[in-house]
């Protein structure tokens, strides 16, 4: 196995283990670990199947295998980042709505308190 | 039918006493405006005694909220900084819940003349349009000299909005804006977060709402610095262009019902 694929296998194993450990410690929610685990498994497949990387390089018309690998990693993490952007945007919207609701409820509470005091 | 707004005869911390229309709320988004906010409120109540006012404090690092509260205004304190759009929308949501028919938004830096508020209110009420913009560039307005760069930016937005809105708008970046309850209902649910003025026009246009511009006077800032600096201008333009484009894509039927 070429050194670059050994390196890739090691890195992806570390990634998968790290994600699983963080899920176990509840630092990453299960639903958000899926993207990382899928990315890790795909890269592990590329690393462990000796013929897969040359096949992909030929299919894409690239002579350079490291470049093919880089392109593959880039594409996979592009999708992971895209999914995380959707999650972050949704969280931000929820956070804004919650902050506004909290402020409005606090306003009503303070208003009622002052109203009672002035009665 | 939502709960009726407090009337002038009711004792309420928001509406001190009379003269100002009971169905109108003045909304003042403020962020670190401790140097100006007391004067803004004092001047407002000199012109419109008893006017219901809510200052939206966008988690200021200074004493803005305390000063506004001591002056007698209702203060909506955001738990963390949301930016102008988030703050204004919080105010709109509150006004909608309190049952106000008209909300006029003015800046907390003293640039807007409170004597123009009633012109906006009357235009909203008499014409039935959903939004009235206090414009610095229509005949009858006075006292505003824009910088060269800002002038170019505003002109670009005019050109961009002309085909989208189907009519010209002279002052698309004005923060002196009045809305009626129909627009309030829409903005309570959908409101742009950053640089909201221009995108808000597109949001209303997509619902076939109407707007009108009335002259207003604009004064130099009493203190502090504008949030839109030279360095932010490019980001401002890019952000607004993208926001307008996204709002056009969100087209979901032209109805004047507010949904």
* pLDDT of B251: 57
Which pTM was predicted? 0.81
pLDDT tens-place string over residues B126-154: 999 999 999 988 887 776 677 777 788 88
What is the ipTM score, two decimals? 0.81
Rounded Cα–Cα distance for residues B41 and B71 (Å): 7
A96 to chain B, any CB pair closer than 8 A? The answer is yes
Record: contact A106-B77, CB cut-off 8 A: yes
pLDDT of residue B186: 93
- Rounded to 5 degrees, φ, ψ at A14 are -60, -45
Answer whether A114 sits within 8 Å of B13, measured CB to CB: yes
Give the architecture (CATH level 2) of B24-257. Alpha-Beta Complex (3.90)
B97 in reach of chain A (CB within 8 A):
yes
How far apart CA B210 and CA B132 sit, in angstroms, is 9
Contacts of B93 in chain A (CB under 8 A): 100, 104
Listed residue (B183, B191, B195, B181) closest to B241, CA to CA? B195
Sequence ranges of the domains in chain B = 24-257
Smallest CA–CA distance, residue B251 to chain A, in Å, is 20
Residues of chain B with pLDDT under 50: 1-18, 257-259
Distance set, CA B146 to CA A33, A108, B4, B38, B136 (Å) = 51, 40, 41, 26, 10
Distances (CA, A) of B148 to B142, B176, B230: 18, 21, 11
Nearest-angstrom CA–CA distance, B254 and B210? 12
The predicted pLDDT at position B217 comes to 86
Closest CA to A39 of A85, A78, A3: A78
**How confident is the model at residue B153, as a pLDDT?**
83
Site from A107, A109, A114 to mutate, B interface, most B CB atoms within 10 angstroms: A107
Packing angle of the helix pair A30-48, A3-24 (nearest 10 deg): 160
Is B82 part of the contact surface with chain A (CB cutoff 8 Å)?
Answer: yes
**Inter-residue contact B71 to B37 (CB < 8 Å):** yes
Cross-chain residue pair A118–B11, CB shorter than 8 Å: yes
Strand order in the sheet with B211-215: B74-77, B52-57, B24-30, B102-105, B177-180, B131-135, B211-215
Query: What is the DSSP code (8-state) at residue B197?
Result: H
């Amino acid at each position: 196995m070429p050194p670059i694929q050994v390196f890739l296998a090691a890195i992806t194993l570390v990634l998968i283990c790290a994600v699983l450990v963080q899920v176990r410690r509840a630092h990453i929610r299960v639903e958000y670990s899926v993207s990382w685990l899928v990315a890790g498994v795909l890269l592990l497949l590329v690393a462990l199947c000796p013929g897969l990387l040359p096949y992909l390089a030929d299919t894409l018309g690239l002579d350079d295998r490291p470049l093919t690998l880089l392109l593959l990693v880039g594409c996979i993490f592009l999708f992971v980042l895209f999914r995380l952007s959707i999650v972050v945007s949704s969280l931000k919207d929820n956070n804004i709505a919650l902050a506004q609701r909290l402020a409005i409820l606090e306003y009503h509470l303070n208003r009622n308190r002052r109203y009672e005091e002035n009665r | 039918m939502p709960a009726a707004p407090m009337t002038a005869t009711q004792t309420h911390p928001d509406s001190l006493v009379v003269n100002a229309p009971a169905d109108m709320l003045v909304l003042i988004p403020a962020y670190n405006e401790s140097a100006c906010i007391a004067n803004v409120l004092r001047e407002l109540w000199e012109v419109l005694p008893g006017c219901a006012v809510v200052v939206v404090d966008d988690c200021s690092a200074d004493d803005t909220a305390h000063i506004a509260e001591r002056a007698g205004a209702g203060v909506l304190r955001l738990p963390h900084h949301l930016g102008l759009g988030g703050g204004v929308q919080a105010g709109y949501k509150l006004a909608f819940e309190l049952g106000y028919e008209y909300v006029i938004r003015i800046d907390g830096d003293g640039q807007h003349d409170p004597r123009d508020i009633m012109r906006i209110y009357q235009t909203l009420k008499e014409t039935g349009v959903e939004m009235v913009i206090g414009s610095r560039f229509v005949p009858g307005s006075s006292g505003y000299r824009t910088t060269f760069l800002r002038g170019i930016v505003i002109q670009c937005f005019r050109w961009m909005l002309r085909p989208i809105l189907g009519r010209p708008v002279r002052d698309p970046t004005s923060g002196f804006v009045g809305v009626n309850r129909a627009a309030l209902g829409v903005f309570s649910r959908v409101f742009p977060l950053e640089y909201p003025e221009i995108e808000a026009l597109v949001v209303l246009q997509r619902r076939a709402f109407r707007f009108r511009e009335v002259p207003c006077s604009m004064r130099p800032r009493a203190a502090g610095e504008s949030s839109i600096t030279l360095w932010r201008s490019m980001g401002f333009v890019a952000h607004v262009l993208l926001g307008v484009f996204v709002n056009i894509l969100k087209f979901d039927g032209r109805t004047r019902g507010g949904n």
